[in-house]
A and B are shown apart, each in its own frame.
Chain A
Amino acid sequence: MRILLVEDHPVLGRDIKQGLERYHYAVDLVIDGTDAVLLGETTPYDLIILDILLPGLDGWEVCRRLRAAHRAMPILFLTARGEVDDRIRGLDLGADDYLVKPFDFRELEARVRALLRRDSSTRTSTLQFLDLTLDTRTQEARRGTRVIALSSKEYALLHFLMSRPREILSRTTIAEHVWDYDAEHLSNVIDVYIGYLRQKLCANGEPEVIHTKRGAGYQLKEPEQ
């Protein structure tokens, strides 16, 4: 899951990015409102975390412009402005959530998780596909009862596949959601990571659930008979 973090505080921005990366999110950090609009319009982020006081455009204007450009990803305002009027203004501009600084990082992460599962059919913290379960709270993956140990990128990849079950996902789409800006060009290594995942998911001879669609990409689907 790929997140755009717009925060101009040099230490806080870096810390949030590192914290979220520990939860296997791909995070792009920008410090400027203009850059935020540019990236938000061109990259299919799964979530945007937005400060209000920013150089360039302020957070409200960034939110307004993205919504005007029909970008529908969830937007979370993260700001020191905690007045009720400010919150109402932010939510009315099209934001989905509002978190006031200072905040507990665990709460931020929980809200990120909540916003990310908003579009999925299941509204719990656990994603499920057939006998495959992924607990986004404990970051534990299971096939049946068997616990699967995953590396950070494998987890991110599986999380994305399970959030879009049965959709055919091109390598580019996968790269855009699993890798951050610095690694996006590595889309050609996705085949190898899919290989890793398959090996782990089928280690006990379970049937294949990640299918290759030649020339199109990959699909999480019921095993073929």
Chain B
Amino acid sequence: MDVLIIALATAATIGRILVLIALSVLSGWGLAYLAVKSRKFENAYVPFVNVLESIPVIAFLPIVLLVFIQGLGGFWGVEVAADFLVFDAVSWNVWIGAYQAFKTVPEHLLDVTENYDFSFGRKMWKLYIPHSIPRVTSNLFSSFADAFFYITVSEVFTVGVTTYQTFGIGTLITNFVKQSNFIGVYYSLVFIAIGVAIVTGALNILSRRSVAKYGVDSTFEIKRHTHWSGRHFRAVDVFRLRTRYLSRYARKLTHPAHRGGFEGEHGPPTPIIHIMKVALKSLTFCMGIVLIIYLAYSSMLIAFAVPQKEWQAFLTSTPYLLYSMGADYLRVIVVTLAALALALTLGYLLATHHKASMTLAPIVQAVSAFPAPTYFPLVFIATYPLFSATLPPAYSTEIYVFTLGFLSCFYYVFFDFWIGVQAIPTQFWEVMRNYELSWGTKMRRIIIPGTFPYLVTGISSTINSAWAGIEIGEFWPNIDGTHSLEVRDGMMKYIGLNMSTGNVANAAWVSLLFAIVVAIYGIVFTRNLMDLARKKYVVEEGVYAA
């Protein structure tokens, strides 16, 4: 047994995931800023992210094949293709989290940055990014978990008759399963557990510190690194020097007092500022247009991939497909409600009891980060005899689909709510204690409204991500070698069945219908609820110091 190889593969996968998470955070900040500054961009961006978050990783394979494997080719082609698939798993919820945080920046803080004519860089560095850190941090748990959930289909994938793979624990597990090397699988799971424990432990510390430092009057004490080595301070100093230099440069470009044509603190903008503002506006507008064109183009590609003669058949099958979509939405709603119930109970307990958090949080994180597709067949083998003896087949199948759907997404709303509760200001907790509010009253009147922006993000990502788990559960041929998991009606089963039989056109038609519904949901649900959150539910605005 090459334990060293397993250890290295685990390290490679974790390194890959962390780098891609960092990339998604950086890109998320930039896109979120564009979204809050331009309504046009926002109208395209929110449904775009919702659609991409809802479409399972596997749907990206044709793009990956075309752009990376054929375009780049060789080792780097496969590596970048795998990175793209991992990026797909980690980025969307981070993007939505950053957007949600930017959207709910307290107005009085925004006024300060406008008042002192902060440049784009300063606004980002001094306000938007610090304000978003607790919410972005809360999404890191989900991103890390999601990356591992899909690692076996991200690092190794088959297109046609060719299998592509890159070095990592996902590839290793897939190969062990193919070789029936269960010892190898178990060792891999142990190493994943160790890696997950280390990373989630670090994320735990990061989340508490980020809430302590960047949350408004949270109950957590700010930790300072007074015991750190001098080397750390030197590194920080170098970083500060660099940022100071950049800030000065930015100020020279943008701040009235540092520009050549000084016209007083509130004088009219100079040509360079005007040009930059016009450029930014044009950029956001262009990006919005590009996104809309991309969506339209993708939809057209899918639509025109269908031969004309099959249109009639598609239109005839549409009522049934809509019915199947309805059935799947019902499953998604049940999964989301279960995830929400867990978040409001266990999530609340963990957020308010430090000792419970220290013991139970790593368990929740481990469950969420463990790739369910790797161990679910074992769960099936262990439970199938009982279920088949006590329940009708349709019921037991629904339980498995629910379990897979739940495992694929429960942590989004759980971790978002968890961090949201921690960010509630101390003064609010004292008011709750002072007036002896019951758990129900606290939840209804203060905790849920106070964490509303976090819940919108969490529920949105939970709904979007439930599809992937449901897709795996609705159609899983030979799950244990002798039985297949298959629901009677379900859109995801329909897609999986058609993909496996090579009927891409049917899958494309239902995907198009689905994308339209998801885009509408993105505008109606995510954007409107986010608007409501901005108007009414910014908890930081509740603590007022005149």
- A joins B in a complex: no
Residues of A in contact with B (beta carbons under 8 Å apart): none
Chain B positions within 8 Å of A, measured between CB atoms, are none
